[in-house]
Amino acid sequence: MPQHSHAQPRICPDCSGFAAVAIATGLRLRDGSRATVRVNCRTCHGTATRPLASAVQAV
């Protein structure tokens, strides 16, 4: 019986799938909540996956 090769996961190697984060700036808004900045991964641009072409080349 032939062995089946499974597809490699397409998770971004730089952010490990956590593509967007909210960073507290330390400031408080008038309602008492914290001011946050949303930052996306520079490699995958917030999608948490890498392009299919690079996933195939990595094998």
- Structural tokens at position 47: 């999608």
**Residue 36's pLDDT is what?**
94
pLDDT digits (tens, 9 = 90+) for 11-58: 888 888 888 899 999 999 999 999 999 999 988 888 888 777 655 555
Residue 6, Cα to own-chain centre: how many angstroms?
Answer: 22
- Judging by DSSP bridges, how do beta strands 34-40 and 20-28 pair with one another? antiparallel
**Residue 56's pLDDT is what?**
55
**Residue 50's pLDDT is what?**
79
8 Å CB contact between 43 and 21: no
**Residue 54's pLDDT is what?**
56
**Residue 9's pLDDT is what?**
75
